[in-house]
Amino acid sequence: MTTAENILSTLLKDHGYSITSQRLLVFNLLIGQEPMTMHELIDRTNGKIDRASIYRIIGLFDQIGITQRLNIGWKYKIELTDKFAEHHHHLTCLNCHKVIPINKNELEDFIAQLATVQGFTPIDHQVEIQGYCQNCSKKVTKAKLLN
């Protein structure tokens, strides 16, 4: 049992669910990987788990905070929650596609505050910024910047 598997087991038990080989397999397919689509996840199980079960497992994982869905355009990808990876946000370069992580406590505080002002209880959030990195800012034409 890895450390991560132990955390998973505890989370499942604490919520009254059992530890099954299928749940462990799905979890291990997600750990350490880039966010993946449902299709990719299903593919990677190589027919070892039924499609319906995978949907049920991800539904459960979402519910008890093991996974979360990351929205990409009008599709979504699945990734493990911050319990299993460091919470962070990104600056993405529209030209060279470099991804620069942001990790600002200020930002977190600001967002939390922003929500609570309206009687809202914030649970999760996303911040993504697209633009041009230092390098590409120099090369990109004014026309392109003005769109």
Report how far residue 76's alpha carbon sits from residue 127's, in angstroms, rounded to the nearest whole number.
16
Least distance in Å: CB of 11 to a copy of itself?
A: 10
Report the residue number, 27 or 132, with the smaller CB distance to Mn ion. Answer: 132
Q: Which stretch binds DNA (CB under 7 A): 28-36, 37-45, 81-89, 90-98?
A: 37-45
Site string for a copy of itself, 8-47 (x = CB under 8 A): ----------------------------------------
Nearest one of 139, 112, 39, 77 to 68, comparing CA atoms: 77
Give DSSP secondary structure letters for 14-83. HTT----HHHHHHHHHHTTSPPB-HHHHHHHTTTSS-HHHHHHHHHHHHHTTSEEEEEETTEEEEEE-TT
71 binds a copy of itself (CB under 8 A): yes
Q: How many CA atoms, within 13 angstroms, populate the side-chain half-sphere of residue 77?
A: 11
DSSP, collapsed to helix, strand or coil, labels residue 93 as strand
> Which partner from the list Zn ion, Mn ion, DNA, none does 20 bind, CB cut-off 5 to 8 Å by kind?
DNA
Q: Does 82 bind DNA (CB under 7 A)?
A: no
Name the residues that contact a copy of itself, by CB under 8 A: 64-65, 69, 71, 73-74, 76, 91, 93-94, 100, 102, 104, 106-107, 110-111, 114-115, 118-134, 137, 140, 145, 147
